[in-house]
Structure 1
Amino acid sequence: MFYRKISANSLNTKRLDSDFYRPEYLVIDEVLSHLNCVKLGSIGHFFTGPFGSKLPSSLYVEEGIPLFRVANVGQFEVITESFVYLAPKSHEELKASEVLPGDLLIVKASVGEKICKIPESLPKANITQHIIAIRPKNHMDIDYISTFLFSYYGVGQLQRYSLGSIIQYLGVTDTKNVSLYYPHLVAQKYIGDKVRQAEELRAWAMALELKFQKQLKTFYPEAFKDKSTGKKHSMAPIEDMSYTLNPGAFDEERLRIRLYLKKCGSIKLKEVASIEGTTSSDYSQDTTYIGLDSISSGTCALSPSNIRKSGVTGTSRILNEGVVVAKLRPYLNKISYIPKSLSGSVGSTELLCVRPLNELNGWYIYGVLKSDIGLRQLKPLASGSTHPRIDQYDLYDLIFPIHQDSEIMGKWLENAQAAYFMASYLVISAKSLVEALIEGQLTEEQLIKAQQTLEDGDNTLDKAILHKLSSEGYAIEGATPLFSDVDELYRLLASATAAADSED
């Protein structure tokens, strides 16, 4: 409960609900009132998608123009995994809600959580009624603007202008009233470039993962084909009946893939790797925690948390460097790699830890298990109606191909995960820089000078700023630096740029 006496000048006659005048919102108002701000509505054209009756699911097709739904809008990134599509004719009929590269998307219901920019890789798309789109004016740095909206001062305002007691919901008109801090354009560019660098690193990481999959598919093409006939019975070799009578083990496609891989010289995973399962309840509230939600189903990206934020109690799995495979619901493909920097963290007891027995590259093991070669062998084995699981014996029995270029291929994935991590750090750094500017910890002049020296080929000032960043903010005494190795960031950025240039 709170109360606050509001002057007549501070009242918004369109918003007389008490939540609009929460103390923290008024503090944000006060802070921004002393800075150069513009209304968000002045930056460009605002529009939203059509009502549901004009966009029924019957219009969805397998290929065509992508349709952005709430699930496709992430934090600074597009989530393509659950895209649905519209036929070109349907899209043309809904032309008013067409979005183009550079447009900014804001989800109405997930206030301050889901905002992203349409990338150049999507020439055009459409949106549903649950998304607000902004087409910025030419001189606007949309990446800086999205960073501000994700900052404490942006999220606070978006929440303030939203309506609803159970589910907060943003309207187009109210969104336009958000005050946007508007520093010098060069300072905006310095911050916006951090977001663009993150975008470049993510694109490179995805390209490296795709490269791995293509290489695997080139050498083992039959393992990626679907030749299912729908038969309810199968003829299984005697060696495939060695440890289980689970009906899923004799799925016709699973048996076909295993037989094919054996003919290619593949062996069982138990011959090249061991599975560990040490647990502990001896950890602090700040111990890094990796739950199933931390693991991406489609990429090697990880989103670690800690015990306090995750609300974990009891026993957890001790995670050392290497591959982790989730026992629960294998169809979700929750498989990842714990890098050296996170070795010693703890995680869900649903995770099995896989370690190479010899010199085989651990990243290569991860890549194969994450691919269709692993998924199509493990998915049919899940047993249990409510919480289907596999066990370590299912994993040991997996037929595993060893590619002659396993070391090189593993390095691709190692670089991919490093790029994903650096991309997430760059996004955090951009948000922290906006907040540091607003709170006076940094000046516009410092960012302008850092940007100008970067353009002259000197990264000294940029390094100095990056060294002061942590997940807690800018220049926080005693905080762990966000970038433990700034030179590694520059190396990855150079590699990503070189890869992009070679494609052009």
Structure 2
Amino acid sequence: MIISEIRYDQYEEAKRLDAEYYLPEYIEVENLLKNLRLKLTLLEEVTNFIKKGIFYILAEEYKKEGIPFIRVSNIRPILLDYRDLVFISEEKNKKEKKTSLTAGDIVISKSGTLGNVSIIPPDMPICNISQDVIGISVKKKEINPYYLALFLNSPYGQTQLLRGKSQAVQGHLTLEFVRKIKVPLPSYDFQQTIESIVKEAYQKRNEANTKYKEAKKLLNRILGLEELRITKPKTFEVKFNDVEPILRFDAEHYQPKYRQVKEFLRRSRYQVKRLREVIEISNKKTDPSQEPTKYFNYIELANINPSTGEIEEYSQIIGHKAPSRARMVVKSGDVLVASLSGSLDNVGLIPIELDGAIASTGFFVIRSKNFLSEFLFLLFRTDLIKLQLEEKTAGAIMSAVPKTTFGDILIPLVPIEKQNPIANLINESFKLHKEARELLNKAKKEVEDFIEKGS
């Protein structure tokens, strides 16, 4: 049991009766900030406005190009994720100009993955936001937005944000609370240093994304994927003799796009084999609870960035507290393929520092002497493979690819000499992403050290 004691004047200030609001870690950060030998300001004092985004917008209003429209799924710590980024028209943005933001402004997820904070990058001069996003227009002459984004992503900013979660069933951040977040103000030079580090990280991430796109484009050309035509008819028919062998009666299983993928593979310029014939599907497992005092590196589905395939973070778990799904033993160079239908984009590559780690049983673990790991990683991120996986998913509540049918996936045997340039580009992309992460961690640590030295 955790017990916190508070003074009546603390309640008077917050007007909150929920016990969680007074958890010891929240009180500790509150006291630390109050006792800083540094100038402290409220967030509302260094911003032009703090407001939530467009209240009502239909998905039909999204465009393929125009003004970027930031949703919760795009907000990750410090830098935006452009995966699934949608756009709105200039007319819609003018109509909703009150929630329009510019480069250097800040966005916070007010629900869902609550408290994620990103900065609008310099190459996004204007954007707008959804109603589940809090937009902050920063007074850039009073505080450096890059420093502010780093502070809000630090334990001292995050603790305040998480503390502000409303008491509703599905908690969310309120504007009133966010406006009162306390922010320490360092020197101008220190804030500029943080900006320089973040911008360097952003540049490296852009270079990494360019390398990834080059690899993807090269793979598409090698496989001839530009010739893969996926149609989406409103109706379709299947013959009974197609249904009888597998006894699947769900219409989704027989969508024409799955047949189109198979027909494309039959015409492939390369030999095509079933996955189990050319790829090892590892079944090596361990039970961490048998070593109750040992710590294990543990990789879950959520640890893989679906945009880049990077394993951005992982947990350290002690054997006796390991979840039952923490079983799969992985080694450097293995490819992780998510089996759950909603996570098929979560394909990752095990780096050398995670050799011997434990992965969730929600992954298939594969390796092969016929494929370079980086090539195999990218191949499984193409529609050519994802659509085959999607076709094989089964189950009503938690739809997933069964182990019994995973090995039936069809794989084109591309010669190693054609895999090499793709593998090199993926390696370069991962290297640059890692450097970008290290820079962001460096900036974050400098902000944390600054606060701790001022306490």
TM-score category (smaller protein): 0.7 to 0.9
8 Å CA contact 2:274, 2:407 repeated in 1: no
Q: How does 1:58-457 map to 2 (within 5 A)?
A: 59-109=61-111, 113-139=115-141, 140-161=143-164, 163-164=166-167, 166-219=169-222, 220-222=224-226, 224-227=228-231, 231-233=236-238, 251-261=258-268, 263-270=269-276, 272-282=278-288, 286-302=295-311, 303-308=313-318, 311-313=322-324, 316-321=327-332, 322-329=334-341, 332-358=344-370, 360-386=371-397, 387-391=399-403, 394-395=406-407, 397-402=409-414, 404-440=417-453
Return the alpha-carbon distance in structure 2 between the equivalents of residues 84 and 12 of structure 1. 43
The answer to which of 127-136 and 155-164 deviates more is: 155-164
Using the size of structure 2 for normalisation, the TM-score is: 0.82
Letter in 2 for 1:78: L
SS at match of 1:91: helix
Return the alpha-carbon distance in structure 2 between the equivalents of residues 29 and 399 of structure 1. 56
Structure 1 pair 12–402 and aligned structure 2 pair: CA distance change class (3 A): same
8 Å CA contact 1:98, 1:127 repeated in 2: yes
Gaps of 5+ in 2: none
Structure 1 pair 29–307 and aligned structure 2 pair: CA distance change class (3 A): closer
8 Å CA contact 1:292, 1:334 repeated in 2: yes
Q: How many residues align?
A: 432
8 Å CA contact 2:204, 2:432 repeated in 1: yes
Return the alpha-carbon distance in structure 2 between the equivalents of residues 113 and 45 of structure 1. 20
Structure 1 pair 312–350 and aligned structure 2 pair: CA distance change class (3 A): same
Letter in 2 for 1:430: A
Return the alpha-carbon distance in structure 1 between the equivalents of residues 178 and 92 of structure 2. 28
Letter in 1 for 2:364: L
By how many angstroms is 1:215 displaced?
1.0
Provide Cα deviations, 1:289-330, integer angstroms capped at 9, x if missing partner. 112222233321113223359951366011112212233327
By how many angstroms is 1:278 displaced?
0.7
Provide Cα deviations, 1:146-165, integer angstroms capped at 9, x if missing partner. 11112222223334455435
SS at match of 1:45: strand
By how many angstroms is 1:97 displaced?
0.9
Cα RMSD (Å)? 3.5
Structure 1 pair 440–164 and aligned structure 2 pair: CA distance change class (3 A): same
SS at match of 1:287: strand
By how many angstroms is 1:207 displaced?
1.9
By how many angstroms is 1:190 displaced?
2.9
Q: How does 1:1-20 map to 2 (within 5 A)?
A: 1-5=3-7, 15-18=14-17
Letter in 2 for 1:214: K
2:39 counterpart of 1:40:
no
By how many angstroms is 1:105 displaced?
0.7
By how many angstroms is 1:178 displaced?
2.1
8 Å CA contact 2:270, 2:414 repeated in 1: no
By how many angstroms is 1:392 displaced?
6.2
8 Å CA contact 1:222, 1:257 repeated in 2: no
The answer to which of 85-94 and 61-70 deviates more is: 61-70
Letter in 1 for 2:208: A
Letter in 1 for 2:237: K
8 Å CA contact 1:330, 1:379 repeated in 2: no
Question: Which residue of 1 is the match for residue 29 of structure 2?
Answer: 28
Using the size of structure 1 for normalisation, the TM-score is: 0.74
Return the alpha-carbon distance in structure 2 between the equivalents of residues 333 and 95 of structure 1. 34
Return the alpha-carbon distance in structure 2 between the equivalents of residues 334 and 395 of structure 1. 18
Letter in 2 for 1:260: R
Return the alpha-carbon distance in structure 1 between the equivalents of residues 88 and 194 of structure 2. 35
Structure 1 pair 323–248 and aligned structure 2 pair: CA distance change class (3 A): farther
Return the alpha-carbon distance in structure 1 between the equivalents of residues 236 and 343 of structure 2. 21
Return the alpha-carbon distance in structure 2 between the equivalents of residues 224 and 374 of structure 1. 12
SS at match of 2:78: coil
Structure 1 pair 414–390 and aligned structure 2 pair: CA distance change class (3 A): farther
Letter in 2 for 1:361: L
Letter in 1 for 2:266: L
Structure 1 pair 2–276 and aligned structure 2 pair: CA distance change class (3 A): closer
Provide Cα deviations, 1:331-390, integer angstroms capped at 9, x if missing partner. 7233221122211001122322222225x4211111112112222333222233332314
SS at match of 1:82: coil
By how many angstroms is 1:412 displaced?
1.5
